[in-house]
Chains A and B, each alone.
Chain A
């Protein structure tokens, strides 16, 4: 094994696999036994002895199994991060930031320099990735090791080519559970937050994108992983469009500094949510019909050729909803798609290519998919499957184009659920900040030009 494969890592190896390791490799026990308590040294979980037991008084961690089993039969191996990079990559991005983006980018960069903990609250479609470039360019030029992690594989897959295009001479390691590529030691890493469990004090700069996406928000091990993977004196940046209460609490306690970007890249506000109470929408669909208000809207779409996404709570409802649409408005041409659909990527591509006018889908398209100029309708928006964050994200699919910066976000629901109220409140709050910024804009830009 190459020495560099252990730089800033904590690899779980059996004694047999660890035989030929370089001499510098530090060995740590995999499971810490402390009297009655057992703790996994990779993911930090406290383990219940009866669940963790193997024969012959051995124990294993059942919490981080899918990264390879940590047990009393294995050890963790580590070499402290030496920042051994030969050529520091430079930023080749030619684009231009708006004045608000530039201001946020500057905050991000300062945070990296000061090794702070920062939250960047930017609305969906604000151009978050581009705002990272100045800070990353600085960090890479200083020889710092940087990582961008997201709870979602598709976000990682989308980010990798954009970062590669912006830093053309950078070697980027892309790590996620579905990849077969061997690990490479690179100055810049893009990975899922799960993969951070394999790092220890590795990164001078660690960025967590979409911090409020499942499974990160609900998984304490991933929070532990973030704190393990960043160097003790490293910089941490959280980015989100829908901060959780926990993050905002940390802001109030001044454990996190915060900056806002309440306007989208085209300087417009987030579209507001229209809500219609339709207690029997599902029963109507099961009879093969559409609620009258929905039928009217879709008939209008058939004439105007306006494209739209229609969200439903469950995969099992997709076919019936599509059938009811086809029956009511036969000239509309659309597809159904869900997260485990084997043709998912092809279908989304057909929507992108304007080959179909609509998609009926479950939550999977909520993040990271940009379809300019669309409208969004959510059936059963009060279903518990849609969290507040998911609803804000769904609303954020609308108005992603300079040519059509607004659009319809329409929730049909049986009740006015707390999640819907909170989503509307979040959008209202961001738009208040946005409006203030719009009013102040001439001043902001003159400050920047001076």
Chain B
């Protein structure tokens, strides 16, 4: 799994999204939420890497996911560059860019790549619940 993420995220080999796209898409669809949200990458990652690794799994393939949207991250530092201590202490890094009416009373599926401390997921889930969602279910590929 380490080698996979090395190839996918750090070398930027977007082709290998296909390795897990069917699994991720099938799982998301089985969870049967109303809205699917992915954890974002920073704007500078979008410029250098050119893709969000989570969105990459969900966007094309046989079991395409409907209602896919991405949160926005405000801070510039990538999660993987922070020590665990820092990460636990970080303030809410996300911002909602969609209208809150899309979340009200909805069951939200929240997707990320790796679960380490759970802080990222919790921040994002807090934000979604605060904006009126009925429930949030987290899904990550690896932990």
On A, residues with C-beta under 8 Å from B are 14-16, 51, 53-56, 58, 60, 62, 65-66, 69, 71, 73
B12 touches A65 (CB 8 A): yes
Whether A60 touches B50, Cβ cut-off 8 Å, given contacts A65-B13, A66-B11, is: yes
Q: How far, in Å, is A202 (CB) from chain B's closest CB?
A: 25
| B11–A69 touching, CB < 8 Å | yes
CA distance A73 to B48 in the complex (A): 7
Could you tell me if B48 and A14 are in contact, using CB atoms closer than 8 angstroms? yes
Show 23 residue pairs from A and B whose CB-CB distance is below 8 angstroms, ordered by the A residue. A15-B47, A16-B48, A53-B14, A54-B50, A55-B50, A55-B52, A55-B55, A55-B56, A55-B59, A56-B50, A58-B50, A60-B12, A60-B14, A60-B50, A62-B13, A62-B15, A65-B11, A65-B13, A66-B11, A69-B12, A71-B12, A73-B48, A73-B50
Closest to A74 in B: B48
Q: Mark B9-28, 1 if CB is under 8 A from A, else 0.
A: 00111110000000000000
Q: Is B14 in contact with A54, judged by CB distance below 8 angstroms?
A: yes
The residue in chain B whose Cβ has the minimal distance to the Cβ of A69 is: B12
Q: Which residue on chain A has the smallest CB distance to residue B56? A: A55
Q: Once bound together, how far apart are the Cα atoms of A62 and B14, in whole Å?
A: 9
Nearest CB of A to B38, in Å: 13
By a CB distance below 8 angstroms, the chain A residues around B5 are: none
Q: Once the chains are docked, how many angstroms separate the CA of A58 from the CA of B48?
A: 11
CA distance A404 to B56 in the complex (A): 62
**Minimum distance in angstroms from B98 CB to a CB of chain A:** 19
Measured CA separation A415–B44 after assembly (Å):
60
Beta-carbon contact of B50 and A71 below 8 Å: yes
For B56, list chain A residues within 8 Å (CB): 55
B14 contacts which chain A residues (CB < 8 A)? Answer: 53-54, 60
Which residue of chain A has its CB nearest to the CB of B7? Answer: A65
Q: Which of B94-132 contact A (CB under 8 A)?
A: none
- Shortest Cβ-Cβ A-B pairs, 8 listed: A54-B50, A69-B12, A14-B48, A65-B11, A58-B50, A55-B51, A73-B50, A54-B14
A-B pair number, CB within 8 angstroms:
36
Q: What residues of B have a CB within 8 angstroms of the CB of A15 in the complex?
A: 47
Docked complex Cα distance between A62 and B13 (Å): 7
**Chain B binding site: helix, strand, loop or mixed by DSSP?**
helix
**Given A55-B50, A55-B55, 14 other A-B contacts at CB below 8 A?**
A14-B47, A16-B44, A16-B47, A53-B14, A54-B14, A55-B51, A55-B52, A58-B50, A62-B13, A62-B15, A65-B11, A65-B12, A73-B47, A73-B50
Instruction: Determine the distance from Cα of A60 to Cα of B7 in the docked complex, in whole angstroms.
Output: 14
Complex CA–CA separation, A73 to B55 (angstroms): 19
Distance in Å: Cβ of A179 to nearest Cβ of chain B: 18
Residues of the B chain whose Cβ atoms lie less than 8 Å from the Cβ of A14: 47-48
Chain B nearest CB: distance from A172 CB in Å? 29
| Chain B: interface residue total (CB-CB under 8 A) | 14
**Complex alpha-carbon distance, A14 and B46, angstroms:** 12
In the docked arrangement, what's the CA distance between A53 and B15, Å?
8
Return B131 CB to nearest CB of chain A, in Å. Answer: 26
Which residues from chain A contact B55 at a C-beta distance below 8 Å? 55
With contacts A65-B11, A69-B11 known, is A54 near B51, CB below 8 A?
A: yes
Contacts of B48 in A (CB 8 A): 14, 16, 73
Chain B CB within 10 A, most for which of A14, A16, A51, A55: A55
**Chain A residues within an 8 Å CB radius of B47:** 14-16, 73
Most A CB contacts (10 A, CB to CB) among B47, B50, B56, B59 go to: B50
Nearest Cβ distance between residue A83 and chain B, in whole angstroms? 34
CA distance A175 to B110 in the complex (A): 44
B52 to A, closest residue via Cβ: A55
**Smallest beta-carbon distance A60→chain B, Å:** 6
What is the distance, in angstroms, from B70's C-beta to the closest C-beta of chain A? 11
| A44 smallest CB distance to B (angstroms) | 19
Residues of B within 8 A of A71 (CB): 12, 50
Most buried by B among A16, A51, A58, A60: A60
User: How many angstroms from the CA of A8 to the CA of B56 in the assembled complex?
Assistant: 37
Question: Which residues of B sit under 8 angstroms from A58, Cβ to Cβ?
Answer: 50
Q: Which residues of A contact B12 (CB under 8 A)?
A: 60, 65, 69, 71
Min CB gap B72→A, angstroms:
16
Complex CA distance for A15 and B46, rounded to whole angstroms: 13
Distance in Å: Cβ of B7 to nearest Cβ of chain A: 8
Q: Which residues of A contact B15 (CB under 8 A)?
A: 51, 62
Chain A residues within 8 Å of B51, by CB: 54-55
Complex-state Cα separation, A15 to B48, whole angstroms: 9
Q: Which residues of B contact A60 (CB under 8 A)?
A: 12, 14, 50
Tell me the complex Cα distance, A53–B47, Å: 15
Smallest CB separation, B19 vs chain A (Å): 14
Residue of B whose beta carbon sits closest to that of A53: B14
* Chain A, Cβ-Cβ closest to B10: A69
CB distance from B68 to the nearest CB of A (A): 13
* Alpha-carbon distance between A34 and B48 when the two chains are bound, in angstroms: 23
CA distance A56 to B12 in the complex (A): 15
Q: Which residue of chain A has the shortest Cβ distance to B13 in the bound complex?
A: A65
Q: Give the CA-CA distance A62 to B11 in the complex, in Å.
A: 10
The smallest beta-carbon distance between B112 and chain A, in angstroms, is: 18
**Residue on B nearest A54 in the bound complex, by CB:** B50
Which of B44, B47, B48, B59: most chain A Cβ within 10 A? B48
How far is it, in angstroms, between the C-alpha of A60 and the C-alpha of B56 when the chains are bound?
A: 15
Residue among A51, A58, A66, A73 with the most chain B CB within 10 A? A73
